[in-house]
Amino acid sequence: MTAVRNTLLGLTLLLATACARRIGANGTVAGVTVTDAVAWGFPGSGSLTVGCRMESTAPDSLIGVSTPVAAHAQLHNVVTANGISRMVPISAISLPPQSSVRLGAGGYHVMLDSLTAQVAVGDSVAVTWDFARAGKLTLYVPVVKFGDAQDLLKQ
C-alpha cells in the first residue's frame, strides 16, 4: 500500500514538474513541429522576441513570420565579430530533418518590432510561422518573463 502511495505521490510530482515547464505554445503542421513557443520583451522597448524549438520530418525551412500585434516581424540571427554581437535579419532558417533547431536569445530568433498593441506578461499573441514546404502554422504564444523564456529554451 505504501508503495502504491509513493508511486502516486511520485506521479503527482512528475506531472506538476511537467506542467510547470510546459509554459510555451505547441503545434504541428505537415510534419513540422513547433514547441515551447514563448515571447518576451522589455518594458518600453516596443518590441517582442519570440523563441521556440522546431523540428521537421522532411527538409524544410522557416521563411517568414507574421503577427497582428506588430508592424514588422523578422527572422534574426546574432553574429559576433571582433567581440561585438549584433542582430542581423536573415531570409530563412533551414530545418534539416530529424534535428531540433532552437530559436532563443543569442541566436536565431523572431523579432516583432513596432508593436501595434500594448502587450504584457500573461498575454498571448498570435504568431504565424510560414514554412517553405509545410505551409503556415498559427500559435497563440504566451508572453513570459525573460528569465522564464531562457530557462525554457536553454540548450
Which residue type sits at 55? Answer: E
Binding segment (CB under 5 A) for Cu ion, from list 10-18, 31-39, 85-93, 133-141: 85-93
Q: Could you tell me the smallest distance in angstroms from the CB atom of residue 19 to Cu ion?
A: 30
Contact 136, 71 (CB under 8 A): no
CA distance 132 to 119: 29
Contact 65, 127 (CB under 8 A): yes
Which residue type sits at 90? Answer: I
Q: Which three cell numbers stand for residue 103?
A: 530559436
Binding mask 61-80 for Cu ion (x = CB under 5 A): ---------------x----
Q: Does 88 bind Cu ion (CB under 5 A)?
A: no
Q: Does 87 bind Cu ion (CB under 5 A)?
A: yes
Task: Please pick, from the candidates 111, 121, 130, 146, the single residue that binds Cu ion as defined by CB under 5 A.
Answer: 111
Whose Cβ is closer to Cu ion: residue 75's or residue 134's? 75
Q: Could you tell me the smallest distance in angstroms from the CB atom of residue 2 to Cu ion?
A: 53
Query: Whole-angstrom distance between the N-terminal and C-terminal Cα of the chain?
Result: 40
| Number of residues near Cu ion (by CB under 5 A) | 3
